[in-house]
Chains A and B, each alone.
Chain A
């Protein structure tokens, strides 16, 4: 299991990287390497040109600015995990990261790599959907922003053009007082989830749900933000009745099957995890309100 031959490029700037991407045939961009390198070792991926972004320093940044978190594509998962600001302002991201692989893989793995690999149940992909982030894409010709909801076009396929590079993301931070939860079911610690559900819940003064965001992944090629569930929760008292209704709704969604997991089990897990995520997020919202 050795990678097939390629020509290696290690640009120092985004401009250089874009130039390479625009001019080389069958090129792949290497970020943290925790997904692409195994695929190259298995020879599932055999690029002719490998464009390594690890020396493009301008792609690694992490800033809380007002109500948004700005993250570079080459920011390591460990830097997100250990950032006190992320922990404080966006605990759902910190919690999601604790499920991402293992320490040694988070040390190398990047936000951009995870988003572009686009595993259907990857935790960072789920949280990006929950927060409703915007992706910043650059190419030799210019730059554009892609709302995260429009990023995934098919199974593990993004809407990036072949000459485009993900440079970073802007993630709206949850408003103060929001309760969060990240519930997933994976076979073992660190595995990709079979199904994951994250949630943000805000309560009004009467203790009713004022707003709810839910991201559910593992059912299809990308996470969904089930509008029907989010809408129905608004104005409800957080409690078993509301959670059950949301769970039942989730249990009715379409789901894919593979050699290991049936569609029925994915739907079942969606149902259970929606309940659990809403329960925990509501409890935390309540605590935040009382505290």
Chain B
């Protein structure tokens, strides 16, 4: 047995042990595949292999759901405070999850190495979240409770989230608000001095805490300040402008990372007792998204390639309230907080011929407030996926507004479509007055005016859906540990809490829950045995090999010297993903997308042009590495979307809808998490199903009518 395959065997065995996988057939092709037992597998044998079922083994699911977290905290092994500083924790990412975890673990006494690609940890993209953060505080006396937040989150996620994780999220949500207030986060307050709350997309209680339109920034700065406090205290060492390029796995355990210093180009290994990835979502696979330009999947993808399963990659949230695309040079999309839907009314003209008129010139009776019409109970506050898809439907019908945008249809023909719907505050301004509206939404209105050059107090805003959040991510168990022992994933980077769709104001909650309250209480269970695993030296073969891999990949990118720029590849990948793996997916489209991505990837590795050298501040090289990983991820997303022949949450399969065009779930076939195992470059990925069991909650078909 060669060194490499021996390592692989150990990885497999350790993973199997950690996951409780049925050991007979890990990674083996599903024998029933050629004679499919269920319809959805038909004809997809070319795309993936079905492996063994997996499950979480850390949560004691025989207990009532409200006792599971307490029990887990009690059962988790502890690390003696005196031993903590001998243990090194690598945390990649400094957003709400990473920053909070680094600060908390530093505070607990561990030796923390914290990495981020930005120039300072305060810039992680959590900062851009506007709307708010949910917490089951019931300060409004409106029947809110931990259970209700749990229920809403599972329901909002279209029953595709793991019950135990979600309950814990709801349980610790109240502590988050306490923690943040203690840190000096300036939440909005009422005149009486108490915290103000508002209701947010998809729920009927007012449990969303906010800080004007920049809740994310205020929460992140809170975490950042705690992080800097630990840097000063010497427990955390920061590595800004460092990008994680590879995970180091030795004897089946995550033992460190290889980073690239983005200023000098130095490729360096860092070893530790445990590695945490808190690297955010991968929405930038679509090129145009509300993510920051630098957001990428490299950390998670590298871990996936080393054995971490990737959960539900196709679950993408398309956010309904973004500023529409202005033209082909668009580099990113700007989200406006969904809170706008609280007071704004969404409409399009009833008649297509009115679409080029000034909105104020369209009479009330000629406007179609389509969300209020179709969903009278929730109106403009329907969940994001519904609001997004209906906006697309309106535009597809030819009733969109705004400038005509060039698009290609499936046959490659050019067509001109208006991609936008109105979000109108005229009623709210009449009812509340302009000052009140300005107080609640002023900065969002300013932002809109800044970008479009239009005054939203006078004319309705134009909005259109854009890729915003990825519910999918690296598969983790209840402890947030991946299928690689010693590798944890927190925040948006993991798949755990939002199922197929995330509720508004829940991303901040999950990031901080993972960072402040979950990881610091679960990671100790692994670290308690860390001394048994022994240290790892920088000359360990696994370390040397990982560094060589990274160096090899960089050298290869620089050596191609082709004719196409990195961005042109990224844009093309994005177009494919948006067209075929966006708001509406079909088997035909996804198969086409996969073949297109494969061809594009091939071209990338032979024709990309990366200027400059490695030993420099080289942004083109940085992007090239990220796009290379996005190409692989994009294919897996399409495979996942292809295999899940049902509509759920953010994933809408045209083949699975009700007569009136609503999403149709198939709980009989798809009540599971799809955890994908990497089987080698170009090899078919292996699907491990984690069945979803709902004990505390009754499984229902979602209805917002």
Decide if A and B are genuine partners.
no
Using CB atoms and an 8 Å cutoff, list the residues of chain B in contact with chain A: none
